[in-house]
Amino acid sequence: MLILGCPGQGSQSKGFLEPFLSEVPGFASKLEELSVASNRDLIRLGTTAEEDEIKDTANAQPLIVGASIATARTLLAHQGISGVIGHSVGEFAAAAIAGVITDSEAMHLVTVRAEAMAEAATLEKTSMAAILGGEMADILASLDTLGLSIANYNGAGQVVAAGSVQAIAKLIENPPTKARVIELKVAGAFHTSYMAPAISRLQAAADLITPKDPSLKLWSNSDGSLVTSGNEFLQSLVDQVSKPVRWDLCMETIASEELEFVELPPAGALAGLVKRGVQGAKTIAIKLPEDTQKIGA
């Protein structure tokens, strides 16, 4: 079963779209179309823009979603895709690929989301950090002491903590027993109550859209369940702004499938999690166009 994975924020890197633009027919024109919908020059952002510009939440989220959609529509259009799953902002790309919303609607919504979250991140100084290894009881105790919360349950021995920059700094200085802590390059404490101010703007934009039920298998970050209702999934895209990402539950749900997991660009992180967290899964990270040759091999 071929399942596409749509990555989340932080996966982007300078120039990652250059080989796709130069080698994949139709990729540039599709990205131009998505640029109009997002009011962003995605071609420039994916090629010549500097790290600081593409790290900006208002740019990073449309860029990542646009890259995933363009790849699915061009490079992987005839691969016999059975299902799709996104991580955090990647769920907007997944919603489009599964036919819940149109490509243009996905780009408009993610741009509203990105701008609202960037604005919310300026209200208080917050940050996020990945916690690798350790026992969950020790991790929860440490986070509770510092007033931090878990924003991403990524599975495969990884969670992401979020909260004030001071508390994140203390967590890095004194990590939980047998754990490593790595601060993430993000603007704020995403998927926590700190992002609640962003919800109303995204809700208003979502209310103008009439979604369809998915045409492919689609799994939700809210609880790992298989999506049957387009209306419910669209609402979950709004709600997930301030709710934890349950990628661990998504992996548990797809683990029973005969799985070939193909991560769309900017790829790497999700394929790594699935490789470690889903026994027997074949994983492919599309970092270059020629990586598609590994599909079905």
When pLDDT is cut at 50, 70 and 90, the band that residue 56 belongs to is: very high
- Res 108: pLDDT: 98
CB 4 within 8 A of CB 80: no
Residue bearing the bigger pLDDT, 10 or 244: 244
- Res 142: pLDDT: 96
Q: What is the DSSP letter of 79?
A: S
CATH superfamily of 126-183: Malonyl-CoA ACP transacylase, ACP-binding (3.30.70.250)
**Sequence spans of domains, the chain:** 2-120+192-294, 126-183
- Res 221: pLDDT: 97
| pLDDT 10s digits, 94-110 | 999 999 999 999 999 99
pLDDT at 78 over 80: no
DSSP helix/strand/coil, 14: coil
- Among 248, 27, 209, 228, residue whose Cα is nearest residue 112: 209
Helix (H) or strand (E) holding 245: none
- Res 137: pLDDT: 95
- Res 132: pLDDT: 95
Helix (H) or strand (E) holding 105: helix 103-121
- Res 271: pLDDT: 95
pLDDT at 295 over 80: yes
- Res 128: pLDDT: 95
pLDDT at 294 over 80: yes
- Looking at every residue in the chain, the average pLDDT score rounds to 95
State residue 64 phi and psi, 5-degree precision: -65, -45
When pLDDT is cut at 50, 70 and 90, the band that residue 186 belongs to is: confident
Residues with a known catalytic role:
88, 191
- Res 156: pLDDT: 85
What CATH number is given for 2-120+192-294 in this structure?
Answer: 3.40.366.10
- Residue type at 33 in one-letter notation: E
Helix (H) or strand (E) holding 121: helix 103-121
Question: Percentage of the chain surpassing pLDDT 70?
Answer: 99
- The dihedral of CA 16, 19, 24, 29: what is its sign? positive
| pLDDT 10s digits, 204-241 | 999 999 999 999 999 999 999 999 999 999 999 999 99
| pLDDT 10s digits, 154-168 | 998 899 999 999 999
- Res 118: pLDDT: 94
CB 218 within 8 A of CB 190: no
DSSP line for 39-57: TS-HHHHTTT--HHHHHSH
- Res 245: pLDDT: 97
